[in-house]
Chains A and B, each alone.
Chain A
Amino acid sequence: MSVATAFEIVLAAVVLGLGTWTIVVRETFSATVGFVAYGLLVALIWVRLDAVDVALTEAAIGGGLGGVLLLGAAARLWDADLMAMEAPGEVARASAAALSVLTAAALAGAVLLLPDPAPTLAPAAVANAWATSLSNPVTNVLMAFRAMDTMLEKVVLLLAIIGVWSLAPDSAWGGRPGPRHQADPRGVLAFLARLLPPVGIVVGIYILWTGADHPGGAFQGGAIVASMWLLAIMAGLADTPPVSRRSVRFILAAGPGLFLVVGLAGLLFGAAFLSYPPAQAKPLILGIEVAMTLTIAATLGLLLAGAPERSAEP
């Protein structure tokens, strides 16, 4: 057994230990913290699996922004946690445990019985990279070969925003999401919120740009920009925009909108819906990715901010 495999076994064990702790610990806040740590370690597993794009996404969106979301909820629902809720009885727990073990065992068996050599689309993806002249195969799959899934997923994000906004009380419709945050202007939070966003935004734009040929892309870059924006909001340096503002709505719809427009242009003038002429593929895809990054940053930030609570007048 090599050192690498030993490290992987230790990593898997720590991850599973954190996961178990997250499930069984009593306090919800501790469970949330455990989940954030779990998410960051899973990102390490993704690096070991040689999927750096996914590792970036998992760290930024899965563990990072997802963790912030859960932490915020755990803090606001603190009182609800203190109320006793009827936990299921012994029989339910025992059967749940038995069934979960059986399911995990069935899955483990499926993993061990996967065919060798494994069927793969990697050669086809690499061989067809000429169509977009981008060398990151994941970006090729996301933006060219399976572009429909990516476009539909943007619409999913938009629907999530509409769903979250629909939970506003009627009086606050069109207003600003979330409470107005205040932070000590000489404290650490305000200091970081002044220091980090410029650096973070540059990093985010770099990750978007380099996603064409190296690990990275619109999702990861957008998540970083979103977190910088949220940092400024949480320190009170910026406020959430009112949701009735047309510019906000336009930015939220820009990603899927541009994707659709380019796709329809391909339908009318090109080979097919969502196909790119090989000569202009790279600028088109990068243009769509820029719009996507703006949309993703705005969407992730607004999803975290929540439903409108204050009316639009300042």
Chain B
Amino acid sequence: MSGVTVFGLCAAAAVGLGFYGLITNPQPLRKIIAFNLLGSGVFLLFGVVGRRGAVAGTGNDPVPQALVITGVVVAFSATALAIALLLRLFQTTGSTKLSNRTSPGDGSDPAGG
């Protein structure tokens, strides 16, 4: 088993861990952390793919590297937007509970929009 395969399996495990955290953690901030974990697993998968495509002269295929750099920046901005929304919710209501007490389907929102 080469090192690259080890990291590939590590990437797959990180994706699984991220999904588990996303589904089971009730707090939105923990969901955001789990999403970041999930994202890092996906990027590692790109890295493994790139390493396997290395030729003499480059250690890693530059195209997946460029895709990952773009992806890391996008993931960071997504985290920033999500956290800003969360902080505003906390500021306005004092809690970060995402679910309303009633299900979203029975139209009991008194205010219009």
Say if the two chains contact directly (CB < 8 Å). Answer: yes
Q: A35-B36, A80-B90 are in contact. Are A138 and B74 (CB under 8 A)?
A: no
| Contact A108–B84 (Cβ < 8 Å) | no
- Report whether A73 and B87 are in contact in the complex, using a CB–CB cutoff of 8 Å: yes
Interface residues of A in 260-310 (CB under 8 A from B): 296, 300, 303-304, 306-307
The interface stretch among A38-46, A185-193, A231-239 is A38-46
Given contacts A77-B96, A80-B90, A86-B26, contact A156 B36 (CB under 8 A): no
Would you list which residues of chain A between 172 and 188 have a CB under 8 Å from chain B? none
B52 and A62 contact, CB distance less than 8 A: no
Residues on A with beta carbons closer than 8 Å to the beta carbon of B12: 104-105, 107-108, 110-111
A88 at the interface (CB under 8 A from B): yes
Q: Which residues of A contact B70 (CB under 8 A)?
A: 142, 149-150, 153
Complex Cα gap A8–B51 (Å):
14
List residues of chain A with CB within 8 A of the CB of B58. Answer: 122, 125-126, 137
Smallest distance from the beta carbon of A302 to chain B beta carbons, Å? 9
Asked if B111 lies at the interface with its beta carbon under 8 angstroms from chain A, I say no
A-facing residues in B46-67 (Cβ within 8 Å): 47-55, 57-63, 65-67
Q: How far is the CA of A120 from the CA of B52 in the complex (A)?
A: 8
Nearest to A72 among chain B residues (CB) is: B83
Q: Is residue A163 contacting chain B, with contact meaning CB distance below 8 A? A: yes
- Chain A 85-123: CB-based contact to B (< 8 A → 1; otherwise 0): 111100011001101110111011011101010111111
Q: Which residues of B contact A (CB under 8 A)?
A: 1-21, 23-27, 29-30, 32-34, 36-37, 40, 43-45, 47-55, 57-63, 65-70, 72-81, 83-88, 90, 94-97
